[in-house]
């Protein structure tokens, strides 16, 4: 069910980010339009043949002023911990350096498959030099040129040959897959523990996978759940774990594997920019979202305080206006019982399908009350609406001209759909298509 993860490692300047960008290509992200969200990504989806996988550029995890050697070691650790396959990149123009040998030593200790890419082989004559790289002990070296896009196909063929057989059918439709995301110390592991120790939860199985992620299967009141990817909550105490890029990477990986994402906020310290970014990724991925305000024991808990905190959240997380908010304390377990109903609700709405005829009645009523906009004298005509997908619920609106359907009108239709059908806890998507 999980997508394979590929990480690129190597000393600085060998071309990691060049290769990353080439393999990922241009992908437009809504999150990146949210102010403050960084543009340079280190984790993104890539495709090769019929494989979709996630790619990590470990070079993007910067560790402040740590010495180069420490940085490289930490980056290699990230690759070893997170990836299914590692691309080890060296610079074909410079030969094997002491720093390459340092990385080599670390990679020997991992039991992950490693594909050796010799970069900057910009022309065929240079290919003869690659034999020297056999001495690194990772088998056949693949000559590539990141800047010219050469040799990447052969390299990727080798990479995908290590992917496990597809097991897409494995995910059980009746099970709710959820995960917790949030910046370090918001209480993710405390909340998982509090939850697992709750009386009504029966933990059936904890599965380690090759990916160093843990899926915990549990059962409560007739419903099966899987908490995915709690590995990030196990404290490894590594330097890189405190970096922001790494926590984003963690969050993205957790999001990938769940239907419902709990976005944790720390009531004690309040909302910070990083919370917004992390939450933005859950929204962008189209997952159901529940906002959990943890450490509610640290504030004076009453209705007024809750209302005030909710107002703050709504102001900061406008793009998550559909997400229910739960206030609780992982430490004292106060209000912990409010969490599961919110997860169930979000999950149900995420998978909800509405009948086409009812949907069209709702939209046509809305249109009757609110004339469609005109652009340069041309009026938008809405002909028909249909739900085309779930998780998240997605709608196609057939119109005379998609250009006439502006964001604000889309928003209007979304609100009408929400008013009529709920959809609390889930984003919904609306696409305009031309129909004559
Ligand atoms: P990173 O530090 O490993 O991420 O390396 P970068 O991707 O930032 O690349 C370092 C430098 O090498 C940049 O100036 C790139 O333009 C250059 N570079 C990357 N790939 C190639 C290549 O295939 N051939 C050549 N000649 N230069 C490259
Ligand atoms: P993580 O990094 O998000 O997994 O956070 P942890 O679960 O490790 O918690 C970080 C710190 O916050 C620890 O010292 C916890 O004891 C504390 N903590 C977690 N939940 C609560 C809570 O509900 N109330 C209070 N007062 N402290 C909490």
Phi then psi dihedrals of residue 240, to 5 deg: -65, -20
Tell how far the Cα of 185 is from the centroid of ligand 2, in angstroms.
Answer: 6
- Among the atoms of ligand 2, which is closest to the Cα of residue 192? 7
* Ligand 2 pocket, mutate which of 179, 189, 190, 293 (most atoms under 8 A from CB): 190
Closest residue (by CA) to atom 17 of ligand 1?
15
Distance from residue 105's CA to the centre of ligand 1 (Å): 23
Lowest mean pLDDT, pick from 201-205, 209-213, 343-347, 386-390: 209-213
Question: 33 pLDDT band (50/70/90 cuts)?
Answer: very low
pTM of the predicted model over 0.90: no
Q: Which residue has the higher pLDDT, 33 or 112?
A: 112
Where does the pLDDT of residue 375 fall: very low under 50, low under 70, confident under 90, or very high at 90 and above? confident
What domains can be seen in the chain, in order of their start residue?
A: 4-161 (3.40.50.300), 176-349 (3.40.50.300), 356-434 (3.30.300.20)
295 CB under 6 A from ligand 2? yes
Picking from 68, 9, 73, 80, the residue whose alpha carbon sits closest to that of residue 42 is: 9
The rounded Å distance from CA 146 to ligand 1 centre is 7
Cβ 253 vs Cβ 213: under 8 Å: yes
Q: What is the pLDDT of residue 237?
A: 62
Mean pLDDT across the chain: 87
> What band does 271 get if pLDDT is binned at 50, 70 and 90?
very high
Q: Quote the tokens at residue 421.
A: 């059908």
Select the more confidently predicted residue: 180 or 211.
Answer: 180
Name residues whose C-beta falls within 8 Å of residue 274's C-beta, 6 or more positions apart in sequence. Answer: 183, 244, 247
Residue 26: pLDDT over 60:
no
Whether ligand 2 lies within 6 angstroms of the CB of 297 is answered as: yes
Q: What is the pLDDT at residue 426?
A: 97
CA dist 108 → 101, 112, 119 (Å): 10, 9, 21
Q: What is the ipTM of this complex?
A: 0.79
- Report the distance separating Cα 349 and Cα 179, nearest Å: 17
How do residues 276-315 score in pLDDT, each as one tens digit? Answer: 888 988 998 899 999 999 999 999 878 999 999 999 999 9
CB 405 within 8 A of CB 399: yes
Helix (H) or strand (E) holding 181: strand 176-181
In angstroms, the CA 258 to CA 227 distance is: 8
Condensed to tens digits (0 to 9), the pLDDT of residues 84-103 reads 999 999 999 999 999 999 99
């Amino acid at each position: 069910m999980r997508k394979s993860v590929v990480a690129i490692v190597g000393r600085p300047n060998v071309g990691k980010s060049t290769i990353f960008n080439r393999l990922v290509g241009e992908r437009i992200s809504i999150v990146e339009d949210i102010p403050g969200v960084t543009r340079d990504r280190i984790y993104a989806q890539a495709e090769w043949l019929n494989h979709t996988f996630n790619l990590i550029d470990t070079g993007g995890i910067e560790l402040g002023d740590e010495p180069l050697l420490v940085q490289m070691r930490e980056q290699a650790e990230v690759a070893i911990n997170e990836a299914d396959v590692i691309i080890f990149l060296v610079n074909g123009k410079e030969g094997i350096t002491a720093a390459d040998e340092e990385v080599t030593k670390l990679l020997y200790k991992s039991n992950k498959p490693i594909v050796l890419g010799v970069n900057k082989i910009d022309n065929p004559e240079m290919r003869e030099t690659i034999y020297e790289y056999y001495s690194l002990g990772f088998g056949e070296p693949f000559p590539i040129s990141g800047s010219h896009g050469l040799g990447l196909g052969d390299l990727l063929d080798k990479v995908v040959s290590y992917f496990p057989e597809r097991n897409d059918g494995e995910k059980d439709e009746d099970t709710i897959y959820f995960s917790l995301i949030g910046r370090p110390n918001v209480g993710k592991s405390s909340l998982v523990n509090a939850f697992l120790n709750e009386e009504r939860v029966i933990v059936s199985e904890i599965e380690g996978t090759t990916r160093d992620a843990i899926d915990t299967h549990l059962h409560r009141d007739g419903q099966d759940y899987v908490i995915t990817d709690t590995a990030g909550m196990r404290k490894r105490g590594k330097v890189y774990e405190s970096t922001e890029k790494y926590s984003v990477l963690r969050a993205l990986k957790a999001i990938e594997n769940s239907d419902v994402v709990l976005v944790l906020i720390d009531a004690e310290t309040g909302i910070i920019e990083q919370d917004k970014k992390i939450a933005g990724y859950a929204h962008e991925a189209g997952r159901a979202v529940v906002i959990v305000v943890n450490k509610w024991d640290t504030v004076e808990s009453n209705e007024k305080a809750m209302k005030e905190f909710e107002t703050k959240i709504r102001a900061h997380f406008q793009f998550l206006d559909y997400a229910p908010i739960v206030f609780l304390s992982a430490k004292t377990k106060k209000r912990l019982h409010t969490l599961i109903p919110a997860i169930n609700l979000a999950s149900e709405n995420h998978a909800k399908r509405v009948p086409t005829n009812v949907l069209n009645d709702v939209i046509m009523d809305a249109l009757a009350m609110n004339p469609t906009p005109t652009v340069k004298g041309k009026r938008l005509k809405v002909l028909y609406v249909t739900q085309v997908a779930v998780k998240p619920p997605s709608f196609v609106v057939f119109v005379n001209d998609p250009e006439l359907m502006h964001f604000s009108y889309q928003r209007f239709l979304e609100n009408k759909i929400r008013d009529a059908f709920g959809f609390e806890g889930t984003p919904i998507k609306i696409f305009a298509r031309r129909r004559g």
